[in-house]
Structure formats: structure tokens, C-alpha cells
Amino acid sequence: MISIKEVTTKSDLKAFVKFPFKLYKDSKYWVPPIISEELKTFNKKENPVFNDAESRLFLAYKNGELVGRVAAIINWLEVNNQTLKKMRFGWFDFIDDLEVSKALLNQVETIGRSHNFTFTEGPVGFSNLDKVGVVTEGFDAIAPMVTWYNHPYYAKHYEQAGYIVEKSYSESRFPFENVKPEFFLKAQELIKKRYQIKALKFTKTEEVMPYADKMFDLFNESYASLSSFVAITDIQKEYFKKKFISFINPEYIKFVVDKDDNLVAFAIVMPAFSKALQKMNGKLFPFGFRHILHAKKHSKEVIFYLIGIHPDYQNKGVHAVIFNEYYDTFKEKGIKTCIRTPELEDNYAIHQIWKHFNPEVYRRRKTFKKDL
């Protein structure tokens, strides 16, 4: 017998956050989140996304044992500004039991119907900066910090519940030795002269901050044409600045500005924290910080987290300027592997940017939808 319980107490929320630690305790590839950060994600006082979104969290029990979880999410900016009557869901984890997954999805679908929404889609987060997609290929590689990982049986559960594929994503990687400077060295000099642009170098986090709001504005502009894009609000910018920028080595943040100091392109790369997070097993204290700081300083793998180019400068080779900057930084730090976070398979512009580096697609993931 499956029973569903809505999360209403702190202990319920802790059980929700910690459930995957049990489900993936024997996995070499799952990367634990930081428990305190996950708890803050669902704290309405901490996370400003709740100014424009809401969530209800559910736990599934079988014979008294916790066997699944799901977050049912409504992003009201998406619903009202895009007139997209979509019920989101994420943080969807479950044992290999179809009754469990269907019972959890039924909670999501019921909420969606109560609002007269037309479909439900997941797994997704609150916004475009959250994790996305269920892994369908490439289970034998460690998951980057900014993605979800799951058991191979997950996709079957979506299909059995009447869901169809909505979006497809790929993740790729390439050895740094694939990066040949002749592909961009001369080009970036010509592009800088032609468009009167220059790259900014940072050595301290406080140097980045004056440009951070401009970066989020440019992120909104450069990604606006992608499907289901939801813009970042001003209050969310402050939250993301505090949450992410201190994590990132300032030399891994690259900005390109025009002659009037307007931001025309940016890229954010992060050290690979996955192995550090596995050692931490969800806990920052007493020694978790040490693992994070060691990875920040010494990781030989980097994750390309975000890259954005102003629409007026797209297809003009501006990415060559960014790559030239990273080439020098990575060479100096002895970087061995470059990894890209999930990218929509139909985002051909972004795939063109990377083609010279001969990337290998090592994982695919999808979101699933169901009409209500």
C-alpha cells in the first residue's frame, strides 16, 4: 500500500532532502547536494524565487518506509507572462516501483488540473538556472554538481505513466589538448578591432560584482528565444550573486565589453566540485569546506556553466575572444578536461561554438510532458 504525505514540518523537509542519500548510497556516479543548501532552496524566507513561484513537496511511503519524493512547482511568471499553463515538477526520485512513481505524479497532475493547466513537465526546477532533465544515456560518468543524476529505470516510469519526451539535452566533454589556439587567436584580434570590444580579466571576486547585474541582464537577453525561458528577476539576481559567485574562481569569469563599457558577452566556468561533494556526503562541517576549497584551487577539470552573447553580437565570432582568454587561464592552471552542462539539442548556435574542439557527447537527458 502506497501512502502520500505532503511536507509540512522541518523533519518532513529534512526527510525529503535526504531521501536520495539512501537511494544512491551505492552509486559511484551520484553527487550528493549540500544538505543545508537544499534546505534553503525550499525555504520561502531564503529563496526569492517564491516571490513569483510556489511549490508543494510530497513524500511516498510503502509499508511505512520512505520510497519516493517529488516537488510540484508553479512558476507564475511563466504562467502569466508567457500564458503557458504548465505544471512543473522536479526533485523526483523513487524506488523501481511503478505504483510509487505514479502515485507521486498523480499529486502533481491533480494540482495542475486544479489550476486548469494544460500540461505538466519535468523534471525541472523553478527557473532556467536550476537542474533539468532525467538521464536517459550515459549512466557511467560522475554527475556535475549542477545536474541531477538518476537510476536507468527512471525513463521507463515516465513512459508507463503516459508521459512523452518534451525536450532533449546533451552533455559533452573534451580534453583541453583538443583546444588549438590557431582556431581563434587571429580571429579574436580582428574581431576586437572590428567591433571595438575588449576582454576583462578578474583576479578578485569583488572586481566581478559591479558587472554581475549586467551579466544577469545579458543572460535574460541572450536566452530569451529559447523554449520555456523564464527571466531572472532583480531580487533573484541578488540571491544568485550571493549563492554562486563566491563559489567561482574570479579568473574563470570572462566578460567582453564594447567601447562604452557595455557588456556584450560573458562566460562562467566552474571547477569540477563533484568528487569533493562525494567526499563531503552532504555536510559542510566540520571538514566539507576543506574539500570545496581544495577543488576550487586544484581541480584539473572545469565545467562550462553559462555562456551568453548579446543578440546583436551573435554569429560574429565574439566567442573567439572568450576562448582566447580561457586558453591562457587553463594552460596556466594545467586544466586537463572541459565539461559542458546540459544544452538543448536543438540549440544549434551553441553547438557550432564548440565544433572545433571535437567534443564527445557522453550523456543525454530529457524532460517529459503529459497533457492534463
CATH of residue 231's domain is 3.40.630.30
> What is the pLDDT of the chain when averaged over all its residues?
92
**Structural domain contains residue 186:** yes
**Structural domain contains residue 239:** yes
Residue 350 has pLDDT above 80, yes or no: no
Residue span of the structural domain in which 223 resides: 175-364
CA distance linking residue 44 with residue 51, whole number of Å: 8
Highest mean pLDDT of the ranges 201-205, 266-270, 306-310, 334-338: 334-338
Mean pLDDT computed over 82-95: 95
* Number of domains, the chain: 2
CA distance linking residue 85 with residue 372, whole number of Å: 10
Q: How far is CA 18 from CA 13, 37, 90, 254, 294, in A?
A: 9, 12, 15, 36, 25
CA distance linking residue 207 with residue 205, whole number of Å: 5
**Structural domain contains residue 371:** no
Same-domain pairing of 108 and 182:
no
Same-domain pairing of 134 and 231:
no
Q: Which of 127, 145, 170 is the last residue of a domain?
A: 170
**Structural domain contains residue 180:** yes
CA distance linking residue 134 with residue 148, whole number of Å: 7
Same-domain pairing of 146 and 251:
no
Find the farthest-apart pair of alpha carbons in the chain and give their distance in angstroms, rounded.
69
16's grid cell = 525529503
Same-domain pairing of 157 and 214:
no
Q: Which residues are paired to 367 by β-bridges?
A: 167
Same-domain pairing of 228 and 321:
yes
Tell me the pLDDT band of 227, cut-offs 50, 70 and 90.
Answer: low
User: What would you report as the CA-atom Rg of the chain, rounded to the nearest whole angstrom?
Assistant: 21
Same-domain pairing of 292 and 358:
yes
Same-domain pairing of 44 and 113:
yes
**Structural domain contains residue 104:** yes
Same-domain pairing of 332 and 193:
yes
Same-domain pairing of 278 and 142:
no
Tell me the pLDDT band of 222, cut-offs 50, 70 and 90.
Answer: confident
Tell me the pLDDT band of 289, cut-offs 50, 70 and 90.
Answer: confident
Residues 6+ apart with CB under 8 A from 52: 75, 76, 77, 233
Residue type, 344: L
Q: Which burial class, exposed, middle or buried, applies to 16 when counting CB atoms under 10 A from its CB (0-12, 13-18, 19+)?
A: buried
Same-domain pairing of 256 and 181:
yes
Same-domain pairing of 123 and 10:
yes
Residues 6+ apart with CB under 8 A from 362: 138, 141, 171, 172, 173
Same-domain pairing of 165 and 200:
no
Residue 142 near residue 24, CB atoms below 8 Å: no
**Structural domain contains residue 240:** yes
Residue 358 near residue 320, CB atoms below 8 Å: no
Cell numbers 523553478 correspond to 126
Q: Which residues are paired to 119 by β-bridges?
A: 86, 371
End-to-end CA distance of the chain: 25
> pLDDT tens-digit profile of 126-185?
987 789 999 999 999 999 988 999 999 999 999 999 999 999 999 999 999 999 888 888
Residue 257 has pLDDT above 90, yes or no: yes
What is the 3-state composition of the chain as percent helix, strand, coil, each rounded to the nearest 5?
Answer: 40, 30, 30
Q: Which of 137, 170, 203 is the last residue of a domain?
A: 170
CA distance linking residue 33 with residue 283, whole number of Å: 9
What SS3 class is residue 85?
A: coil
Residue type, 52: D
What pTM was estimated for this model as a whole? 0.92
Which DSSP letter does residue 140 get? S
Q: Which of 170, 192, 217 is the last residue of a domain?
A: 170
Q: Cβ atoms within 10 A of the Cβ of 299, count?
A: 21
**Structural domain contains residue 93:** yes
**Structural domain contains residue 194:** yes
